[in-house]
Amino acid sequence: MNMPMPHGFQPAETVGREAFRDAMASLGAAVSIVTTDGPHGRAGFTASAVCSVTDTPPTLLVCLNRSSSAFPAIAANGVLCVNTLTHEHEALSAVFGGKVPAEQRFSAGSWSRLVTGAPALDDAAVSFDCRVASMSDVGTHRVLFAEVLAIRHSPAASGLVYFGRRYHPLHHGA
């Protein structure tokens, strides 16, 4: 029996990359800079595909395009730091989102180290210093399951949300 299609519904087999991206542009997401350092070099990229998985053990997931300049170093070092940005970091997000060559990115921002040696952004809303516990490839991306070894946060900091292909500031109580 042919059921009528609800307005706006598209069967899965007709959803292409552009339709998926257009749909994803309707999801607001926190913006982070994910970094690494170690024997395989220092690297970082801007990420919105970051999610809490479980608190036992404390684990985040990060989805990283395998064609990204940061991929070889993050995969091989096995450590990363997720630095969640505030409304003051819009320009820094662009730097790590591809606007600046990889080797010049860390001259923007002030960085220190927590436990793993991956760069932690000093004025981030929160930094999660992690070791990569496991990973899995899905399509173009690698899904990194990252166990959190240390946290540094500024509870009063603002937030930065990426929604509708642009940045939006978030403030406490607003």
Interface with ligand NAI (CB under 6 A): 21, 24-25, 48-49, 63, 65, 140, 165
From the list ligand FMN, ligand NAI, none, partner contacted by residue 25 (C-beta under 5 to 8 A by kind): ligand NAI
89 near 161, Cβ under 8 Å?
no
Q: Which is nearer to ligand FMN, 84 or 93 (CB)?
A: 93
User: Minimum distance from CB of 169 to ligand FMN (Å)?
Assistant: 14
Q: How many whole angstroms separate alpha carbon 65 and alpha carbon 74?
A: 11
User: Minimum distance from CB of 50 to ligand NAI (Å)?
Assistant: 9
Question: Residue 63, interface with ligand FMN (CB under 6 A)?
Answer: yes
User: Minimum distance from CB of 46 to ligand FMN (Å)?
Assistant: 4
Residues in contact with ligand FMN by the rule CB under 6 A: 31, 45-49, 63-65, 68-70, 93, 96-98, 102, 162
